Structure formats: C-alpha cells, structure tokens
Homo-oligomer: A and B are copies of this chain.
Amino acid sequence: MDKTLKMSLLFDFYGPLLTKRQQDIFEMYFHDDLSLGEISEQLDISRQAVYDMLKRSTQTLEDFEAKLGLVARHQQRQTTLEEITAQLSTLSEDLKIGGRQDLAQRVEELTAGVQELFSDS
C-alpha cells in the first residue's frame, strides 16, 4: 500500500491517541502535504524537531495497529462488504426481472443500510 494512504488510514483509526501537537504535525505533513521545512517555518521549531515528531507519531500509530489490527480488519471487511453489495445488487436485478419491483426496492434500501453499518469502521 502507498505510504501516505497507509498513514492516512492509521491516523483515521488511531489519531485520537496522539497528542494534539502530534496530530497537527501529522496532518500538515500527510494531509496538507506540507514539507518538513514548511512545517518547521509555520510552527517556528527546527526541521529536526518536526522530523522527530513525525517519526514518533508514525511509530506510535504502527504500534497500536500491531496490537489492535483495526486497519487490517477494516480492509478485510471492505472486501467482504463489496462482495455482499454485489450479491444484493444482483438479487435486486433478479427481482426486477421477476416483476417484483416492490421487493427490489426493499433490497436496495437494505443495501444502503448495510453500507452505512460499515461506513465508519
């Protein structure tokens, strides 16, 4: 996986476990795409301090993932969810072909419900 995407996912799950300062710098670097130099200038701290803070933050996030595995589980689920969604979609189509628009409609509502159930996982 792309490093920035990986970090972004780790941050989604474990970001609240970082200090406010760590969160800010993490977001400036990985989300706002600022360079170490730009962050250093903006916060008036050394480039080395920014680098150290980022290194510690990513290590912390990876340590939590090693213990809880929320990102890995999220990705497994995402795959299963896509399979289920595809099956629900086929079912809905088959119901329409069978002239059961009413039931097809209910399947589509259920699909939305299932997706919502997992949207924040």
Q: Which residue of B lies closest to A83 (CB)?
A: B113
Q: Do the beta carbons of A67 and B110 come within 8 Å of each other?
A: no
Cβ-neighbour of A120 out of B73, B87, B91 (below 8 A): B73
A67 adjacent to B16 (CB under 8 Å):
yes
Stretch at the interface among A39-47, A52-60, A95-103: A95-103
B84 x A114 contact (CB < 8 A): yes
Tally of contact residues, A, Cβ under 8 A: 32
Give the secondary structure class of A's interface: helix
Q: Could you say which residues of chain B place their CB within 8 Å of the CB of A17?
A: 64, 67-68
Say yes or no: A106-B87 contact (C-beta < 8 A), given A67-B17, A68-B16, A114-B114: yes
CB distance from A63 to the nearest CB of B (A): 10
A33 at the interface (CB under 8 A from B): no
Chain B CB within 8 A of A116 CB: yes
21 contacts between A and B (CB under 8 A): A13-B68, A17-B68, A70-B70, A73-B121, A77-B117, A80-B113, A81-B117, A84-B110, A84-B114, A84-B117, A87-B106, A87-B113, A91-B103, A91-B110, A94-B103, A95-B103, A98-B100, A100-B100, A114-B114, A117-B118, A121-B121
